[in-house]
Structure 1
Amino acid sequence: MKKAITILIVLISFNAFAEKKYQRTYFENGTIKSEGWIENNHKTAFWRFYFENGTLKKEGHFSEDKEIKYWKFYTIGGTIEKEGHFLNGKKTNWWLFYDSNEKINHKCQLKDNQKNGFCLMYKNEKLISASKYKAGKKIKEWTTFASFKKDNKFSDLK
């Protein structure tokens, strides 16, 4: 009987530790700073973070305290600033970057938090140039569609 009680206490303790809880933190002025899920003392699932004025700063998913999946970032004024993918806490794949009018300014392929692949530049929603990066260093730039098409396949943009 003692052994069964001990096992039951261990299981209850483990369950209490592993419980998924919704957590909110606040700035000193009382406005919300962050909110999301905690499991095993790690951020998990969907989270939102706020500026001290109460506007949304960023939102996305975590797995064991590391950013994963798709995230969006906002300016203190509430407009979208950038959005893209994370893998194990590092920016990866295509990221979109916006101007103050929420129009795409440029989009880049990233790997391990740095440009790695193509970066497309826009002005007034029109493509004006393209660059290619390797491990954060620019290795080529094109300012015309014809020159880009000559050097690349569109399948490279995936």
Structure 2
Amino acid sequence: MTTNSPDMPANVPESIGLLLHDTARAFRYRFDARARGLGVTRQQWRALFHISRNEGLNQAELADRLEVERITLCRMVDRLAEAGLVERRADPRDRRVWRLHLLPAAHAIVDRLEALGKEVEGEVLATLTKDERNQLVDSLERLREALREKDGRPGDARKQVA
């Protein structure tokens, strides 16, 4: 849709949010199609990815990052533990808290997921020039930071994974 408001340039779609959402969904679909053979669901690979970047985070922190209910995450971690991918370790300071750590089999899956992500990203971004890619990344980072600031969420979002 290209209906524009008076203060928006004619070449900018009115719903940038929808465009970003649709683009992200297309990325996920393409990635999921390739990741299916690894034997983990989208939520499971997202969990593995977050744990790999933040070894030792607790279940509540992971639930927040994945934006799922804690009971949902608990069941997911149960399945990952049964599959020999994740282990829970007691927190040395609070025995009510479980810290999550990847087991060796999960590291191989995370490595493959990262390679798949780079492949998909490379294929898609090949349609842009190097300058366009750099500009896209810069623009998206600025938009993300502006949204985080407006939501009152401090910190560098680049350190977190979606």
Q: TM-score, normalised by structure 2?
A: 0.23
Bigger CA radius of gyration? 1
Report which of the two has the higher share of helix: 2
Report which of the two has the higher share of strand: 1
Q: TM-score, normalised by structure 1?
A: 0.24
Structure possessing the higher relative contact order (Cα contacts under 8 Å, 6 or more residues apart): 2
